[in-house]
Amino acid sequence: MGSSSRRALVSVSDKTGLASLGKRLASLGFEILSTGGTARFLRDNGVMVTDVSDVTGFPEIMDGRVKTLHPKIHGALLGRRQNLSHRQAMETHGIHPIDFVFVNLYPFSETVQKPGVTVEEAIEQIDIGGPSMIRSSAKNHESVTVVTDPGDYDRVLSLLEAGQEISAALRRELAVKAFRSTSEYDRLIVTYFEGLAGSGEGEKEESFPERLTLDLSRKQTLRYGENPHQKAALYRYSEEQEGGVAGARQLWGKEMSYNNYLDTDAAWKLVNEFSEPAVVIVKHNNPCGVSLGTSVLDAYQKARDTDPVSSFGGVVAVNRPVDQAGAQEMARIFLEVVVAPGFTPEAKEILTRKKDIRLLEIPVQSGLGEKPEVRTIAGGVLVQSPDTTVAPEISGLRIVGEIQPTPGQLRDALFSFAVGKHVKSNAIILAKDGMTIGIGAGQMSRVDSVRLSGMKATRPTAGSVLASDAFFPFRDGIDEAAKLGVAGIIQPGGSIRDEEVLTAAREHKMFMILTGVRHFRH
């Protein structure tokens, strides 16, 4: 107790780097205070430690629930070295300062993610002493260095081994990190118990908590936002190590821009609607070409040919690894981004000859529909569940009227309706043989979107299928579709004028499929 050596308190659940930490502290002459499993681990690795119970004069009790909550520990952490009355109190009560704290917390998050974990098991992983020591140390960071991340061990120890003191700036940086760790820990606990609320029998499940906290970590600062005068950064969910566009692995090319990320995300979400080989080309956050195919090459050529002008400088998403033939065709024009589950060595060699292209790799179906959608408005945010529905199974579709679609037309109807889910409203899709023929996006009236889809068509529209993201309020959209030679329409239905719309379809000898599912995208 009377030792004049510096003291370090070490109590960790994550044992990463612990043996090295203990040995290096011992070689620096530190007295190491420790508890429970950490103390046993250090002793097993030949490091001498002092049990916290020997310092407090009080044993660990209640299965280790109470061990560090004692004035001899927290006084040693909170006592201000420059404050005379604090020093006198420490001297009077035999409290010796603790200068360094290496603490991380019980694995609550890992525990509650295990299948079948009970509430009692989760509760036992709620750390009490750890957060208390971390907060005490961080509060008194003018005197105490607190380290919660094993990745920072070497950073601190290297300075000490070089005979240097820990600067005030570094102590503060580590204190901020420590406070963040306890804040995130508490958020995980709150989220877990909020998830239990409403799961009991007879209780109504609440989808959205009263208070919403998003745990996001900055992945990178971007050059600018949508426009050069706007600042921007990319954040991703802290617990997500991989997944989605935010976790994509960039294989080639210059830094992604804000707009690149938006377009890549739109393309990736759409291409993953399909199990067959598919290619999506996005420009300004709307698909300008989508196609199914027998190969990457086949699908890409047909998607590009939907709108060759807009495809130039577009973002391409593929749901299969890009092969040599597909890469050779892609390399013929300028593309901003190609995102896929992988690239063959030959494809990568071809595409990396183009210095301005970006290649991103994401596991197929990764990061889709897993988090609520959050959008900012002035003064707050809107939150909704992701739109993971496309259309009912074929047995749930309503084919109204006397004209029945052929199997090929039904396939095109489902394909085009899936595409329409990802097109800005009002959205109209013309499709034939598993590829888009024309896309009308973002118009203020549905009939104008129908006209635009025909204007954008680069192939004959006769015999195509038309998909609408929402119902037709009037028959004028059907009449315009007839001018394009549309064979049939798939739409949600639900208008008070559905009979008028159906009558128009009958007059023009079109089939009509009602899905009952709307896909506005604003």
Burial (Cβ within 10 Å: 0-12, 13-18, ≥19) of residue 186: middle
Instruction: Calculate Rg over the CA atoms of the chain.
Output: 31
**Tokens, residue 145:** 């260095």
Residue type, 451: R
Residue 27 in tokens? 């070689």
Catalytic-residue membership of 284 = yes
Give, rounded to a whole angstrom, the gap between the first and last alpha carbons of the chain: 67
Alpha-carbon dihedral angle through residues 133, 135, 137, 141, given to the nearest 10 degrees: 170
Q: Are 409 and 464 in contact (CB under 8 A)?
A: no
Longest dimension (CA), the chain: 99
Q: Which residues pair with 359 in a beta bridge?
A: 252, 338
DSSP letter assigned to residue 343: B
* Known catalytic residue at 139: yes
Strands 337-340, 31-34: pairing is unpaired
- Per annotation, catalytic residue among 23, 139, 348, 354: 139
Of 15, 23, 70, 284, the catalytic one is: 284
Please state, in angstroms and rounded to a whole number, the distance separating the CA atoms of residues 375 and 372.
10
8 A C-beta contact, residue 255 and residue 222: yes
Helix (H) or strand (E) holding 32: strand 31-34
Catalytic residues: 139, 284
